[in-house]
């Protein structure tokens, strides 16, 4: 069974058919899903989803582009909810300099990134990292985090092969999704070839990032076999082997989801 490590099923793009779609996951080989919060509002929706579906777990955290909704009170709520038996990670958190050019706001992104890493350290949960056009600052902050024993995944990985190897050395996992099937994704393919399969997590980031031949359309966990197939091609593994290795990887990282499964 596939372990989907990054989905946003609270998105309004699933409003027309969310229930039917989620009901079809198990029969299509999707065993476990982590729904990932990105704003305070979507974290609340994530809690509803994880309390409704036995195979859905939650990651709670605020995305760098949504930090305007973050304050001491909402951070405290996230920390309280981190104790929920189905909250398996803090995320998605990180830095996004692609969408944010203002140096003052970038500073705020770093501030709230660090505050949420501290929360992860206190609660013992792994982190799900979003990082776009912020390679150096993310690397610096994640180095400090690894020294504090914080575990996690660099989601939708988009940097160099060298940097992927550095993250792996620090114990982090690399999240790989639909982008790996794109023709122009040479850098990501090289990174996937370079890192051990034991450090890769399967993810969609749905509704975004649909793999070929659905690029540009609404994504869902049902397309993950296409991603596993591509990773298998790059690593000389069968699709089935990629699915079983990445499920083991995710169960190792997201301990609270693993414990509930076995
Ligand atoms: Ni995401």
Query: CB-based contacts of 7: which residues, under 8 Å, 6+ apart?
Result: 33, 34, 35, 36, 203, 204, 205, 206, 220, 221
pLDDT, tens only, 185-234: 999 999 999 999 999 999 999 999 999 999 999 999 999 999 999 999 99
The owner of tokens 């693993």 is: 258
Mean pLDDT of 87-92: 98
Model confidence at 92: pLDDT above 50: yes
- Distance between CA atoms of 92 and 26, rounded to whole angstroms? 25
The CATH fold assigned to 2-261 is TIM Barrel (3.20.20)
CA of 178 relative to ligand 1 center, distance in Å: 12
- Distance between CA atoms of 70 and 97, rounded to whole angstroms? 18
Annotated binding site for a divalent metal cation: 6, 8, 92, 130, 155, 205
Q: In what order do the strands lie in the sheet with 87-96?
A: 2-7, 30-36, 56-60, 87-96, 127-132, 152-154, 173-176, 200-202
What's the pLDDT score for residue 260? 53
- In the chain, where the domains are located: 2-261
CA of 11 relative to ligand 1 center, distance in Å: 11
pLDDT, tens only, 3-29: 999 999 999 999 999 999 999 999 999
CA of 248 relative to ligand 1 center, distance in Å: 21
What's the pLDDT score for residue 262? 45
CA of 156 relative to ligand 1 center, distance in Å: 8
pLDDT, tens only, 123-180: 999 999 999 999 999 999 999 999 999 999 999 999 999 999 999 999 999 999 999 9
Buried residues in 189-205 as b, exposed as e (16+ CB within 10 A): bebbeebebebbbbbbb
């Amino acid at each position: 069974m596939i372990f989907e490590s990054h989905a946003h099923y609270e998105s309004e793009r699933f409003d027309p058919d969310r229930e039917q779609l989620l009901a079809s996951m198990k029969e299509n080989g999707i065993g476990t899903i982590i729904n990932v919060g990105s704003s305070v509002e979507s974290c609340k929706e994530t809690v509803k989803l994880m309390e409704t579906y036995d195979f859905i777990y939650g990651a709670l955290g605020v995305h760098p582009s949504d930090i305007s909704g973050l304050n001491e009170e909402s951070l405290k709520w996230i920390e309280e909810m981190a104790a929920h038996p189905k909250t398996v990670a803090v995320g998605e958190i990180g830095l996004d300099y692609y969408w944010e050019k203002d140096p003052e706001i970038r500073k705020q992104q770093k501030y709230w990134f660090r505050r949420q890493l501290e929360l992860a350290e206190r609660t013992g949960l792994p982190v799900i990292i979003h990082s776009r056009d912020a390679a150096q600052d993310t690397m610096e902050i994640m180095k400090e985090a690894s020294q504090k024993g914080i575990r996690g995944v660099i989601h939708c990985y988009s940097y160099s092969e060298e940097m992927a190897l550095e993250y792996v050395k620090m114990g982090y996992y690399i999240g790989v999704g639909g982008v790996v099937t794109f023709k122009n994704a040479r850098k990501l393919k090289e990174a996937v070839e370079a890192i051990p399969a034991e450090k890769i997590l399967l993810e969609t980031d749905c509704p975004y990032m649909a793999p070929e031949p659905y690029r540009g359309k609404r994504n869902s966990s049902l397309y993950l076999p296409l991603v596993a197939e591509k990773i298998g091609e790059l690593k000389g593994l069968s699709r089935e082997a990629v699915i079983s290795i990445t499920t083991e990887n995710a169960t190792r990282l997201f301990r609270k989801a693993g414990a509930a499964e076995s």
